[in-house]
Amino acid sequence: MLTKSHIKLITSLHQKKFRQQEQLFVVEGIKGVKEFLNSEFKLHLLFSTDAIFDAETILVSEKELQKISGLKSPNTAVAIFNIPTILPNAQEKKNSESNGLIVALDDVRDPGNLGTIIRLCDWFGIKNLVCSNATVDCYNSKVVQATMGSLARVDVQYTDLETYIKDYNHDVFGTFMDGHEIYSQNLPDCGMIVMGNEANGISESIEKLITKKLSVPKFGDLKATESLNVATATAIILSEFKRS
Amino acid sequence: MLTKSHIKLITSLHQKKFRQQEQLFVVEGIKGVKEFLNSEFKLHLLFSTDAIFDAETILVSEKELQKISGLKSPNTAVAIFNIPTILPNAQEKKNSESNGLIVALDDVRDPGNLGTIIRLCDWFGIKNLVCSNATVDCYNSKVVQATMGSLARVDVQYTDLETYIKDYNHDVFGTFMDGHEIYSQNLPDCGMIVMGNEANGISESIEKLITKKLSVPKFGDLKATESLNVATATAIILSEFKRS
């Protein structure tokens, strides 16, 4: 049965403060909930209008689901999962951090952009996403929604990005207007790709730590848009790194 | 001076019905307004807290701007432009339609996705975007906002997509799970790239008209996300067509 304290808890989890305090976050919709149930994330509570999940379910009416959903058109289920204290696949993470590609975000603020970038990391087999502390919280419900379940498979960590990069031993890539044209570069299997803030790009302090500047060439006339959205730029860059 | 009828007009333009009736649409923010002022679009009315535009401006207070803005944090200006009856560069459009790349959208419904795709077309020098009639209206304020001014440089037309493709003389590309891996294909300078609906992909009736099926390979483990967002997929595909 859905209780008042359930409603209060779910509502509170829309705020980062309470997500951190409770170490819980909300996942909505059949697909997203199933992805997290199949992952190493631990279920806290599951509310659904149907008993279709292989997990203990608190059955609710459509009207009750509406009350606890953050969506205009709620889709069957709202679940609460535990925020992992130790990242689910910590060993695998360490291995891939030293061997593979890492994406690092320098203050990406838009939840939709972060969610899309997590989904892209998942698609391109990138296990580790390192975020500056000012980057939007990946357990924000809009981010979780935009990842379409991919958050269950990509390790996201928040840290002081400058310190993190200083301790990193491979090439650090970033895109700049005056960088080397990405299409003609030999891109390695191992390295860090830094993506910048929506309005300001990569910050000055981080720019100093970039070892290889790249650019995505613009086609068409000179008046054309002077920047790509950070998520679409990430798509193009990851595709280039992986295609070769 | 901002009048009640101004407020009524701007508010009404949030609905497609009134945009079509009045043949007007709203642009917000300094950057977007400037891009449209520098384009072939015709200004109808311009409201701003500052006299910084090279156009007749109705000066308003911050409070008044808040009243007419659709944004949480309004940015200096709200303008109304005419929806062009004849597309701005009709001749150029005809030439590029027969010679260059065209992007066609089969029922893309999310305003953010359409806006991002228009911005991508602008970046990659694609002049023509053909939308099925069920695709979201490009003069929707969320679309205009997401294009960051690029709508001023890309011709968007709405039509019966099936008929349009049947009349088209070059290759028609679309991405499918079982398509040819895009990274190993020789992609032409001329052709149509069809992108599908967010939930359902390319519809059956349009799929029959696709002459070359492509796929964007997925990396990493098998459990990975089974689809890319339509805007990020468009980014990768346009990058592949243009990079060669």
B227: confidence class by pLDDT, cuts 50, 70, 90: confident
Q: What is the pLDDT of residues B3-37, one digit of tens each?
A: 999 999 999 999 999 999 999 999 999 988 998 99
Same domain, B141 and B78: no
Does B139 score more than 80 pLDDT?
Answer: yes
Q: Min CA distance, B152 vs chain A (Å)?
A: 10
Closest residue on chain B to A96 (Cα): B220
Same domain, A204 and A113: yes
Contacts of B142 in chain A (CB under 8 A): none
Q: Min CA distance, B38 vs chain A (Å)?
A: 10
Contact call for B221 and A125, based on CB within 8 A: yes
Mutate to test the interface with B, among A96, A225, A241 (most CBs of B within 10 A): A225
Reading the block at residue A56, the tokens are 């203990």
Mutate to test the interface with A, among B89, B187, B239 (most CBs of A within 10 A): B239
Same domain, B160 and B58: no
Q: Is B77 on the interface with A (CB under 8 A)?
A: no
Same domain, B44 and B106: no
Closest residue on chain A to B117 (Cα): A232
**Burial of B203 by CB count in 10 Å (0-12 exposed, 13-18 middle, 19+ buried)?**
middle
Q: Is A30 on the interface with B (CB under 8 A)?
A: no
Task: Report CA-CA distances (Å) from B53 to A17, A215, A222.
Answer: 42, 32, 22
Reading the block at residue A12, the tokens are 């509170």
Does A87 score more than 80 pLDDT?
Answer: no
Contacts of A220 in chain B (CB under 8 A): 122-127
Q: How much of chain A, in percent, has pLDDT values that exceed 90?
A: 80
Find the CB nearest A183 among B127, B183, B243: B243
Query: Of the candidates A82, A100, A135, which is a domain's last residue?
Result: A82
Same domain, B123 and B164: yes
Closest residue on chain B to A221 (Cα): B125
pLDDT at position A85 is 79
Sequence-distant (6+) residues with CB within 8 A of A120 are: A126, A231, A234, A235, A238, B228, B232
* Integer Cα distance of B28 and B57 in angstroms: 14
Contacts of A153 in chain B (CB under 8 A): 221, 223-225
B126: confidence class by pLDDT, cuts 50, 70, 90: very high
Does A92 score more than 90 pLDDT?
Answer: no
pLDDT at position A93 is 52
* Integer Cα distance of B84 and B80 in angstroms: 12
Same domain, B103 and B217: yes
Least confident of A71-75, A118-122, A135-139, B131-135: A71-75
Does B86 score more than 90 pLDDT?
Answer: no
Q: Min CA distance, A156 vs chain B (Å)?
A: 16
Same domain, B119 and B69: no
Same domain, B115 and B235: yes
Closest residue on chain A to B100 (Cα): A220
Q: What is the pLDDT of residues B157-178, one digit of tens each?
A: 999 999 999 999 999 999 998 9
Contact call for A235 and B235, based on CB within 8 A: yes
Same domain, A130 and A179: yes
Full domain range(s) for residue B167: 90-243
Same domain, B122 and B71: no
CATH number of A49's domain: 3.30.1330.30
Q: Is B148 on the interface with A (CB under 8 A)?
A: yes
Q: What is the edge-to-edge ordering of all strands in the sheet holding A101-105?
A: A155-159, A128-132, A101-105, A191-195, A172-181, A212-215
pLDDT at position A216 is 94
* Eight-class DSSP state of B42: P
Query: Of the candidates A82, A109, A126, which is a domain's last residue?
Result: A82
Contact call for A216 and B239, based on CB within 8 A: yes
ipTM, two decimals, is: 0.88
* Integer Cα distance of B65 and B76 in angstroms: 8
Residue type, A228: L
Beta pairing class for A77-82 and A24-28: antiparallel
Query: Of the candidates B60, B82, B104, which is a domain's last residue?
Result: B82
Q: Is B236 on the interface with A (CB under 8 A)?
A: yes
Q: Is A243 on the interface with B (CB under 8 A)?
A: yes
Closest residue on chain B to A237 (Cα): B236
Q: Is A199 on the interface with B (CB under 8 A)?
A: no
Contacts of B228 in chain A (CB under 8 A): 119-120, 123, 235
pLDDT at position B85 is 79
Task: Report CA-CA distances (Å) from A67 to A6, A64, A77.
Answer: 11, 5, 12
Contact call for B116 and A150, based on CB within 8 A: no
Find the CB nearest B116 among A122, A216, A232: A232
CATH number of B104's domain: 3.40.1280.10
**Burial of A236 by CB count in 10 Å (0-12 exposed, 13-18 middle, 19+ buried)?**
buried
Q: What is the pLDDT of residues A54-68, one digit of tens each?
A: 999 999 999 999 999
Q: Is B122 on the interface with A (CB under 8 A)?
A: yes
Q: Is A122 on the interface with B (CB under 8 A)?
A: yes
Same domain, A52 and A137: no
Q: Is B72 on the interface with A (CB under 8 A)?
A: no
Greatest extent of chain B over all pairs of C-alpha atoms, in Å: 61
- The most confident of the ranges A138-152, A215-229, B101-115 is B101-115
Same domain, A109 and A226: yes
Instruction: Report the number of distinct structural domains present in chain A.
Output: 2
Contacts of B127 in chain A (CB under 8 A): 220
